[in-house]
Amino acid sequence: MRKAHTIKVYCANCRQLLYKYHKEGPGHLVKCYKDRIVEDHTHGELRCPHCKEEFAREAMIHGKPANKIIQGKVFVRR
């Protein structure tokens, strides 16, 4: 059974909300598939809109466009 839940992804540097994201399954957040980002507060950029810190890089993961999270740059809350 697939379990999905919405999480909030924040900038680790300044605590700005970056995404609301529909995450599937347990475990650490390593990537955000673009089509699962529910709310994007970064205007499609991979930088924090507040402190401009880069927090992700574009990648294709399993054939789908995704933002690969740079570890340590974000934290996650339910």
Could you tell me the smallest distance in angstroms from the CB atom of residue 16 to Zn ion?
Answer: 4
Whether the CB-CB separation of 58 and 67 falls below 8 Å is answered with yes
The single residue among 22, 31, 47, 50 that binds Zn ion, judged by CB under 5 A, is 50
Nearer of residues 23 and 55 to Zn ion, judged by Cβ: 55
Q: Which residue, among 25, 49, 19, 54, has the nearest Cα to 37 in the 3D structure?
A: 19
The single residue among 9, 32, 37, 48 that binds Zn ion, judged by CB under 5 A, is 48
φ, ψ for residue 70, nearest 5 deg: -80, 120
Could you tell me the smallest distance in angstroms from the CB atom of residue 33 to Zn ion?
Answer: 22
The single residue among 4, 30, 38, 51 that binds Zn ion, judged by CB under 5 A, is 51
Q: Which residue, among 18, 22, 17, has the nearest Cα to 7 in the 3D structure?
A: 22
